[in-house]
Amino acid sequence: MTKSQQDDTAQYAWVPSESVVERSRLLTAMRRWGYESIEELNRSAVADPERFWRAVVDDLEITFDAPFEKVRDESDGKPFPRWFTGGHLNVANLCAHRHAVGQLVDKTAVIYEGDSGQRRKLTYAELDRAVRRFAANLTQLGVVRGDRVVLFVPAVPEAVVAFLAIAMIGAISVPTFTGYAPDALATRLQDSEAVMLITADGTTRRGKAVPMKETADQALESAPSVRTVVVLRHLGTDVAMHAGRDVYFDDLDPNPAPVETAATEANDPLTIVYTSGTTGRPKGIVHSHGGFGVKAAVDFAYGFDVHADDVVSWITDLGWLVGPLLMTGPLQLGATIVMIEGLPTYPTIDRMWEIVERNGVTIQGIAPTAARALMAGGDGAAREMPTLRSFVSTGEAWDEPTWWWLFQQVGRSRRPIINYSGGTEVGGGIVIGYPFLPTAAAAFNGALPGVAAAVLGEDGAPLVGEVGELAVRNTFPGMTHAFWRDRDRYLETYWKRWDEVWVHGDLASIDEKGVWRIHGRSDDTIKLSGRRVGPAEIEAALLRDPRIGEVAVIGVPDELRGQRAVAFAVLRPHAVADLDDLQATALANAGKSFAPTVHTVATLPKTKNGKIMRRAIRARFLGDPVGDMSSLDPATPLEDIPVSTGS
């Protein structure tokens, strides 16, 4: 805790108990390393990465099969560092093989909770056997080291098995969203030049079947590089099988000739995670065995304080970075993960809390969007959930009413909400709300270990108490090795603005007490009355109106002021509101300078992992091309947004 934090804890919603402080893996390591604060630790880590990352690897028991020679090699330039050079490690060994002996052999590794009540488990021994068997089958099917294998599957145990088996043989996984339309899936198959697709007959969403194999077949019509399709019998529905190409997962050889775990070098690609942009092809974010493996371990162990006795649950899809992180971070640490198919509010409004109770969950991941849905109809506040120790939140900025509901009503003010923000491109987090430090509502209290995070103004100078660009002044394991076969676009996206500074694309602020806040994407910035404002700031003000359940704010051109704000609000069920009254309340809550024009809509367009698509909303409203919409959740159509009439 910094001196300023010790002097004044009144501004903090969460103040940790002594037991939380004593449990902390990071504080334990810091005491052994001789550091008294996170700030001191990070200054030392940035100044001497060789010493710091060697200490981390040792502390977290990240096993290298061949020792590395050097932590960081920047001989190819700062944007293209190589990590743990010369060292060999394989994520399949870190997450499965090494745990299949000793104390963890019979421990539950993976729990699956289905959309319609299905439930399955794998112990570490069972996970290891399944990974080795599938890896051998991949080899029989002709997959070799360096080949790309696309995963178009639900969050089921076989997804973990496939992800690790692909890693085991040195091939490269390409996880994708289960809700993709054929064109979106085809784009990723084409761009990665995949040789295999692993899919399922289908999945369910709100209890309704989603025909994944049918989607896959349409995508494969324009993906000639794919030679083999492995199909999971998940729903048990009949699907068309292409002779000579398609094979069912459970028809694979049950006793294939064993294969060795590939001696992958630390910088060998592990996975390519695609992110969508408003223009151009999706960006293939490349992560390696060493970088991604170390970053996942650090974020879960030091950021979320995961120990081997923890049960970590998260409703996620493989196409969102949290999917690969969940399969890589907790399993390295010997913890149990809960893979959840579907939504937090189906088949019951309290589904998330029921999963926590049924599985003894200690750490529950949740996005603000999910929390708003639960707050609107759930009764989680009535549940004790005695095992639950903390929440982890990521994906978007919080509005304070929802944050306080989760913290006070559900968490009973005894469980921290570990706010976590970073992205696919950095393999995890940049800033976090450490549970062992006081935390303000909806905020962060520090950078993750080894990350030189800063808030920079338009001139590149550091800002305190003002909103600016979230930037990183160093490099750390987990940052992408570049876009798949497109180094120039990678440099243009993250390194062009200031010399040797990574610009992340988020608006952020940090005050004199070290309280961090994220204010939304910087390309969503609105300039009102001469001030740069993030949409989240105005949205938070509007959400103080109890009639509004969700809201998105955009900036649009204005002849007199340059820009004006426009809000699209979804009313809560049964809420009745006159538009003039809503507008008056928006004026009172946001202030005259920032109050938007309010439109009520049935839904807001969101990605399949629940992020509001503000840029698409803006394009639709202004009648501009909307760009890549492959990540749109079909249940939230863009057509619900009105087109501007010029008023």
pLDDT in the model for residue 282:
83
Q: Is 14 within the bounds of a domain?
A: no
Confidence of residue 612 (pLDDT cuts 50, 70, 90): confident
Percent of the chain with pLDDT over 70: 95
* CATH number, domain containing residue 532: 3.30.300.30
Residue 5, pLDDT > 50, answer no
Main-chain phi, psi angles of 56, to 5 degrees: -65, -50
Residue 530, pLDDT > 70, answer no
Asked whether the beta carbons of 509 and 462 are under 8 A apart, the reply is no
pLDDT in the model for residue 29:
98
pLDDT in the model for residue 90:
98
Confidence of residue 380 (pLDDT cuts 50, 70, 90): low
Q: Is 607 within the bounds of a domain?
A: yes
Residue range(s) defining the domain that contains residue 543:
525-640
In the numeric block, which tokens belong to residue 194? 């995949």
pLDDT in the model for residue 532:
64
Percent of the chain with pLDDT over 90: 73
Asked whether the beta carbons of 124 and 103 are under 8 A apart, the reply is no
Confidence of residue 403 (pLDDT cuts 50, 70, 90): very high
pLDDT in the model for residue 4:
46
pTM for this one?
Answer: 0.86
Q: Is 598 within the bounds of a domain?
A: yes
Residue 279, pLDDT > 70, answer no
Structure confidence by residue, pLDDT tens digits, 10-53: 579 999 999 999 999 999 999 999 999 999 999 999 999 999 99
Q: Which residue has the higher pLDDT, 348 or 474?
A: 474
Q: Is 322 within the bounds of a domain?
A: no
Structure confidence by residue, pLDDT tens digits, 613-637: 888 898 899 988 887 787 788 889 9
SS (HEC) of 358-389: HHCCCEEEECHHHHHHHHHHCCHHHCCCCCCC
**Order of all β-strands in the sheet with 516-521:** 453-456, 468-472, 502-510, 516-521
pLDDT in the model for residue 189:
97
Structure confidence by residue, pLDDT tens digits, 484-508: 999 999 999 999 999 999 999 888 9
pLDDT in the model for residue 280:
58
Q: What totals of helices (H) and strands (E) does the chain contain, helices first?
A: 19, 29
Q: Which of 130-139, 232-241, 595-604 is predicted with the least confidence, judged by mean pLDDT?
A: 595-604
pLDDT in the model for residue 6:
44
Q: Which residue has the higher pLDDT, 395 or 164?
A: 164
pLDDT in the model for residue 278:
44
Residue 358, pLDDT > 80, answer yes
Residue 2, pLDDT > 60, answer no
Q: How far is Cα 647 from Cα 643, in angstroms, rounded to an integer?
A: 11
Beta strands in 33-135 (DSSP E): 70-73, 82-85, 108-113, 119-123
Q: Is 614 within the bounds of a domain?
A: yes
For residue 574, give every residue at least 6 positions away whose Cβ sits within 8 Å of its Cβ, in sequence order, or none: none
Read off the pLDDT of each residue in 313-334 and give the average, rounded to a whole number: 95
Structure confidence by residue, pLDDT tens digits, 181-225: 888 899 999 999 999 999 999 999 888 999 999 999 999 999 999
Long-range own/partner contacts, residues 22-26 (CB < 8 A, 24 or more apart): 23/305, 23/307, 23/436, 24/305, 24/434, 24/435, 24/436, 25/301, 25/302, 25/305, 25/306, 25/307, 26/301, 26/302, 26/303, 26/305, 26/434, 26/436, 26/449
Q: Is 470 within the bounds of a domain?
A: no
Q: Is 168 within the bounds of a domain?
A: no
Q: Is 629 within the bounds of a domain?
A: yes
Confidence of residue 378 (pLDDT cuts 50, 70, 90): low
Q: How far is Cα 219 from Cα 157, in angstroms, rounded to an integer?
A: 24
Residue 8, pLDDT > 60, answer no
Count of domains in the chain? 1
pLDDT in the model for residue 579:
86
Residue 257, pLDDT > 50, answer yes
pLDDT in the model for residue 277:
53
Residue 435, pLDDT > 50, answer yes
